[in-house]
Amino acid sequence: MEVRTCKQCKRLFNYISGAPVCGACRDLLEKKFIEVKEYVRENPHEGINEVAKANEVSTNQIRRWIREERLAFSDESGVGLDCENCGKTIKTGRLCQACKDKLIGSANDLYKTSDSVVDKKHREAARMRFLEN
Q: Specify the amino acid at residue 108.
A: N
pLDDT tens for 74-96 read: 777 778 888 999 989 888 889 99
pLDDT of residue 54: 94
Q: What is the pTM of this model?
A: 0.68
- Contact 10/24 with Cβ under 8 angstroms? no
pLDDT tens for 26-66 read: 999 999 999 999 998 898 888 889 999 999 999 999 999 98
Give the separation between CA 96 and CA 21, rounded to whole angstroms: 30
12-39: string of b/e by CB count within 10 Å (b at 16+)? ebebeeeeebbeebeeeeeebbeebeeb
Give the separation between CA 112 and CA 75, rounded to whole angstroms: 37
Give the separation between CA 107 and CA 113, rounded to whole angstroms: 10
Give the separation between CA 34 and CA 60, rounded to whole angstroms: 16
| Eight-class DSSP state of 41 | H
pLDDT tens for 95-109 read: 999 999 998 888 777
Give the separation between CA 68 and CA 57, rounded to whole angstroms: 16
How close are the terminal C-alpha atoms of the chain, in Å? Answer: 65
